[in-house]
Homo-oligomer: A and B are copies of this chain.
Amino acid sequence: MRLKITIAYDGTNYAGWQVQKNAISIQSLVQKAIEIVLRHPIQLSGSGRTDAGVHALGQTAHFDTDVDIDLSRLCYSANALLPLDIRILKAEKVKDDFHARYSAVGKTYHYHLQIDPVMDPKERLYRTQIFGPFDRSLLEKAIPHLIGGHDFTSFSNVRKNCDDTIRTLHRLDVFDEPGGIRLEFVGDGFLYKMVRNIVGTLIDVAAGRTLPDDIPKIFQGKNRKLAGPAALPQGLFLISVQYLDHQEMHKPFSE
């Protein structure tokens, strides 16, 4: 049978989600914990990688097992083997053709910016501090240019030639939080570093280094050098991955 798990993690201490040589990845720790509980090797497939330092409240992954184990017991036992900065929130039985990556129809990311000069020490690993001028109204003027279907090549560090660089950004909303703002991204999918590159560009816009109306030209140029630098990983959270059969937005913790 195929199981889907939902995982929350603080990415600070890890080399990212994906298994890597010579570095501790979140995927490898979760996989090992489940293998110890089930007593057989598994192949854990995530919805996508998150980079070093990026956090998740609702990363998803799937694997196959024939062990008939109570699913809450599986979570409990695996969590007892995992460090406290990685938590399995849920395990669910899914159809055999479910795939954490290929069945996904959308993702939600949040990015936290600290604007007040003095940041809460508790938030230092979860927000990116803005230095210098920051005009939120300029940032908000740039957003309509980003919404919708676009070729996001200029906003992506695609490593190889990639045929499909078209993505649809359904929502990009700005919310106040104490000391700063939160940017909420909902889209059908995101290219490599796309969220962080958009945030870096929006920081440039808010600082007056880029005009809101420059965004269409950045898209048209299809050149990574036209957009701003990638914002730091620490402000980024993968909030949820959406599937057609699993519409609920899993968000168990207040941010």
Residues of A with Cβ closer than 8 Å to B?
A: 8-10, 55, 75-76, 79, 84-89, 117-124, 126, 178-179, 252-254
> What are 15 contact pairs spanning A and B, CB under 8 A?
A8-B121, A10-B121, A10-B122, A55-B122, A75-B118, A76-B117, A79-B118, A84-B119, A85-B124, A87-B118, A87-B119, A89-B118, A120-B252, A122-B126, A122-B253
Minimum Cβ distance to chain B for residue A32 (Å): 18
Contacts of A253 in B (CB 8 A): 120, 122-123, 178-179
- Once the chains bind, are B76 and A124 in contact (CB under 8 Å)? no
Minimum Cβ distance to chain B for residue A232 (Å): 12
Give the interface centre of A75, A89, A120 by most chain B CB atoms within 10 Å: A120
Contacts of A85 in B (CB 8 A): 121, 124
Docked complex Cα distance between A79 and B114 (Å): 15
Docked complex Cα distance between A183 and B9 (Å): 26
Minimum Cβ distance to chain B for residue A81 (Å): 14
Minimum Cβ distance to chain B for residue A8 (Å): 5
